[in-house]
Amino acid sequence: MKLLFFVYLVNLSVTSIVLAQDIPNWLEFETNYARSKAKNITANWGNSEWLMEEILTGGDVNQKSKMVRLYLYPSTLNKFYSEEIVIDDFESLVTSNFNRNLPTKIFIHGFGHGYNCSFPQDMKDIFLLYQIPVNLVVVEWGPLAMSSEAPSLIDRFKNYIVASENVEIVGNRVGDFISYMWMLGYYSPSMVHIIGFSLGAHAAGYAGKRVYDSTLQQIGRITGLDPAGPLYSTGLVGRHLNEYDASYVDFVHTDMGQSGTVLSLGHSNYFVNGGKPKQPGCISQITEYSLFEKIPVALLGSCSHSTAPLYYSQSVAQSNDFIVATQCYSNVAFQTGLCAFNDVAIFGEFSSPRTRGWYYLRMLPQDRSNIYSC
């Protein structure tokens, strides 16, 4: 035990030395980035520099909007079968198997991903497997979500920034689709539940705002699965998903301070296993240890971050034996039993829209074999 503790300490100090060199943390970068952007000047990162121009004039909004696509998965018999619904094309909507009498789940993926990745595909498959009567709509914004696999860290970093800058376009496009259906008298926004992972959570927030701005109607629900933290911490760059974006907004935290946000801005906020890294089954990455982590961490892809969709999927499968969480004010209090007699709330898919506050729970991610793939 003594030895283990010693190794852990050494590990920590080595990590801090390596990372502390000239790499700013995300908060620092976010503030500088916002400042540079406002002045339309060159931004610095480490020893590298690049022109803001590259980001500010990063393409035509209309053209980018068209790169956002929607796929409906209507068949419980064939999970690979999809129908594309073309936004603004009523014909494609009415000829599809979209059922206007059922509620709708819209899934939005995050940075470096596409619609064929584990999220949303695995979660969509769970809804089909349990034959939950809903329309399942998957959003594809892969070409705008950039690559998280770029060989150099600086390229991944730029890609993350560009992807973040595209999030509003994605959200607006999804919002326009929902508004369009309402304006045709075809479908009510209150029947829509958007489930967004990472940057996709913030895209969902923009969608909710867009729908409200154009129709004065609110989307029924938005679930933020570990909403992305970097560039969304200060409000100076990205607009953070919050409780005004839908009638009910629930957050699932699993990687706070790393890839995930530290802000709990939902009506209800669920902290799984404390809400922070490292989640059970995740190998201890040397970097997974503190809040406001240094920049590279979120870009290396985080195991703890990708457990959020897994936990949520597990909740979909638990309609007979709900997963419950306990209201509490901190993980330490929860762990030591100080909140044992507090209110409980159902976690995940079956969470009640009347739930308010902070809830803690322990969970094991069931399928560790293939935690996230694209």
Catalytic positions, written as ranges: 198, 226, 305
Neighbour count for residue 294 (Cβ, 10 Å): 21
Which tokens is 331 given?
A: 């993980």
Q: Strands, E, within 64-207: which ranges?
A: 69-72, 83-85, 104-108, 135-140, 192-197
Figure out which of the listed residues 76, 116, 190, 342 binds ligand NAG, where binding follows CB under 6 A.
Answer: 116
d(C-alpha 354, C-alpha 351), whole Å: 8
Rank residues 46 and 58 by Cβ distance to ligand NAG and give the closer one.
58
Identify which of residues 69 and 356 has a Cβ nearer to ligand NAG in the complex: 69
From residue 141 to residue 180, the character string flagging contacts with ligand NAG as x (rule: CB under 6 A) and all else as - is ----------------------------------------
Nearer to ligand NAG, 48 or 57 (CB): 57
Among 21, 62, 80, 185, binds ligand NAG (CB under 6 A): 80
- Helices (runs of H) and strands (runs of E) counted in the chain: 12, 13
Per-residue x/- mask for ligand NAG, residues 314 to 333, rule CB under 6 A?
A: --------------------
Report if residue 338 touches ligand NAG, rule: CB under 6 A: no
Evaluate whether 277 touches 297 at the Cβ level (below 8 Å). no
Q: Supply the minimum distance, in Å, between the C-beta of residue 80 and ligand NAG.
A: 5
For residue 322, give both structure tokens. 């709900």
When the beta carbons of 28 and 53 are compared against ligand NAG, the nearer one is: 53
- Listed in sequence order, the DSSP H helices in the chain are 2-20, 26-39, 53-56, 61-65, 90-94, 118-129, 142-145, 153-183, 199-215, 296-299, 307-316, 331-335
* Residue 130 burial (CB count, 10 A): 13
CA–CA dist 25, 192 (Å, integer): 37
Q: Give the contact letters, 25-64, x = binds to ligand NAG (CB under 6 A), - = no.
A: ---------------x------------x--xx-------
Q: Interface with ligand NAG by CB under 6 A: which residues?
A: 40, 53, 56-57, 80, 114, 116
